[in-house]
């Protein structure tokens, strides 16, 4: 991981549009900056792509009909970088840019403005083009959703880390390890002493 703050903006584009020479499906320096008053890690997804992200999240995890569970797009799941490494962040940015560009190309409208049927058709088309994006997006989004305080409360859990309060775990049957201990005692240690 580079400590150079400009390293991300020097990333070479995978493809360019010959008519204007600008990178396609990569985050530009301006897009990466987003709101100049925020630290970069505060908003990992640039402002121009956040509406696309919200719409995609709402398609993935809509609100429940009874309102008990919120939609994923309403929770601002990507408000911080969390555990996103540079590669995952680049994949998300490239994928969101690609979906937005495909929506404009196919419909002349922004992805967020499409109705559910058109948006899902576009998502399915883009899934065939960029499956790696959806691999990162689905795992990151589901994990962030089910760790959000509002969702934890709605499913009956306390919105806290499991420690230091811990969780009650029933005592197990330690005798189940006796065969392993006996085998180790007969054979000797499984590791070499240093």
Contact criterion met (CB below 8 Å) for 81 and 89: yes
Distance CA 105, CA 110 (A): 9
Under 8 Å CB-to-CB from 16, ≥6 apart: which residues?
A: 22, 23, 24
Per residue in 158-178, pLDDT tens? 888 777 777 777 888 999 999
Distance CA 168, CA 194 (A): 37
Per residue in 104-123, pLDDT tens? 999 999 999 999 999 999 99
**Which token pair is 109?**
């409208």
Choose among 49, 181, 176: nearest CA to 112.
49
Q: Decide: helix, strand or coil at residue 16.
A: strand
Residue predicted with more confidence, 108 or 8: 108
**DSSP E strand stretches across the chain:** none
Per residue in 121-132, pLDDT tens? 999 999 999 999
Distance CA 141, CA 151 (A): 13
Phi-psi region of 39 (alpha: psi -120 to 50; beta: other; left: phi over 0): beta
Contact criterion met (CB below 8 Å) for 136 and 88: yes
Distance CA 176, CA 103 (A): 57
- For the chain, the average pLDDT equals 80
Q: How confident is the model at residue 48 (pLDDT cuts 50, 70, 90)?
A: confident
Greatest pairwise CA separation for the chain in angstroms = 74
Per residue in 12-44, pLDDT tens? 333 434 344 444 444 444 433 344 444 444 678
């Amino acid at each position: 991981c580079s400590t150079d703050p400009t390293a991300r903006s020097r990333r070479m584009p995978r493809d360019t549009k010959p008519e204007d020479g600008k990178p396609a499906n990569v985050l530009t320096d301006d897009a990466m900056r987003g709101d100049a008053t925020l630290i970069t890690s505060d908003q990992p997804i640039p402002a121009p792509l956040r509406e696309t992200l919200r719409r995609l999240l709402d398609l993935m995890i809509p609100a429940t009909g009874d309102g008990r569970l919120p939609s994923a797009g309403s929770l601002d799941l990507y408000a911080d970088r969390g555990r996103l490494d540079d590669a995952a962040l680049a994949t998300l940015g490239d994928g969101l840019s690609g979906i937005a560009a495909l929506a404009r190309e196919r419909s002349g409208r922004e992805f967020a403005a499409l109705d559910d049927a058109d948006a899902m058709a576009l998502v399915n088309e883009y899934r065939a083009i960029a499956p790696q994006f959806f691999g990162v997006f689905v795992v990151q989004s589901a994990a962030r959703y089910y760790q959000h305080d509002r969702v934890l409360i709605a499913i009956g859990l306390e919105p806290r880390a499991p420690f230091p309060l811990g969780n009650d775990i029933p005592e197990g049957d330690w005798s189940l390890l006796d065969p392993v201990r006996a085998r180790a005692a007969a054979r000797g240690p499984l590791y070499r002493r240093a």
